[in-house]
A = this chain, B = another copy of it.
Amino acid sequence: MTTHNLIGSYPQAPAREMSDVVDAALIAVDARMNTAVDSEVPVLRDASRHIIQAGGKRVRPRLLMLSHLACSGDSIDDAVTISAALELVHTASVVHDDINDHGVLRRGRPSVNALWGRTFALLTGDFLFTKVYELMAPYKDLNILLAEATVALVEGETLQASAVKEKNFTREIYYRIIGLKTAALFRAAGAMGGQLADASPKIVNALGNFGYNVGLAFQIIDDLLDLTGDNEQLGKTSGIDLEQGRGFAAAHGDTEAQDMIDALKSKALQSDTLHEGRSRAEQLVQLAIQELSILPDSEAKAGLIELAHNVINRSN
């Protein structure tokens, strides 16, 4: 899986300064994650780097960076550290998720669970969470934002597991779940980027709302891709999200069919689930972009708008 869509591989000619800054910062974010997970315990270092180096879209760090730059922030080094922590929250949750879902493929590679087994996958996820905590220790106020989002993420994952267990996956519950498990972290990305630039509470809030709505759209598209994609294209074990009962179709279709993935896929493709999901995601992106009207025009603001569009125009 490549990351061209959202990150881009090389600066375009003519060189756009803002874009160069973001690209360089995102490379630094990966370096900081790799350094952070160094350990004298080989399996923790190796398993952490395995999942980090598998890539991923890095959409959360990009969102944080652009939000920071859109507020004329110049604390790039701090933004890199905080973005690394933010992405490690997501990475930790992915590692633990693959234990609970028995996922064997992630970001086009075998999952940590598949390679190292459950015990070490559990400890690797814990290790990544502790590294978030360590990276964020110096940042008092931002720490609170990220901690709250991390709590929400775990609550969302738990609500989802409960909904599956209780076979009660309504539309309302679906939106509550994706708000907690995905959008809260996107909100934190936007808000932290603004706060680090000492933006006004109004602007911080607007960037948080931008992130939140983009995060909802991101998860809806993720769930739709899971419904239609194959493993190779997605880079992760397809259908697992559905098997767990989650995903847009599960919430909008017949909840009794949750454990019959093929039937559900077929049904979803025949129904207007895909159309409805896509339409909802597009609305959310429009709502998100409206939040940015509080900000002066800038390359970074244009970058945020582009990011929001890319979230719905992607194939993996």
Instruction: Show the binding face of A for B, using Cβ within 8 Å.
Output: 39-44, 92-93, 96, 99-100, 118-120, 122-123, 125-127, 129-134, 136-138, 140, 143-144, 146-148, 150-151, 153-155, 157-159, 161-162
16 contacts between A and B (CB under 8 A): A99-B122, A120-B158, A123-B154, A127-B154, A127-B155, A127-B158, A133-B143, A133-B146, A133-B150, A134-B144, A134-B151, A137-B140, A137-B144, A137-B147, A140-B140, A143-B143
Interface of A is mostly: helix
Identical subunits present? 2
Are A44 and B133 interface neighbours, CB within 8 A? no
Q: Smallest CB–CB gap between A116 and chain B, Å? A: 10
Residues A130 and B150 in contact in the complex (CB < 8 Å), given A122-B96, A138-B140? yes
Q: Smallest CB–CB gap between A142 and chain B, Å? A: 9
Residues A41 and B158 in contact in the complex (CB < 8 Å), given A143-B137, A144-B138? yes
User: What chain B residues lie within 8 Å of A151 (beta carbons)?
Assistant: 39, 127, 130-131, 134
User: What chain B residues lie within 8 Å of A118 (beta carbons)?
Assistant: 100
Q: Smallest CB–CB gap between A120 and chain B, Å? A: 7
Instruction: Please measure, in the bound complex, the distance between the C-alpha atom of A153 and the C-alpha atom of B39, giving whole angstroms.
Output: 12
Q: Smallest CB–CB gap between A1 and chain B, Å? A: 26
Instruction: Please measure, in the bound complex, the distance between the C-alpha atom of A131 and the C-alpha atom of B123, giving whole angstroms.
Output: 18
Residue in A100, A132, A137 with the greatest tally of chain B CB atoms within 10 Å: A137
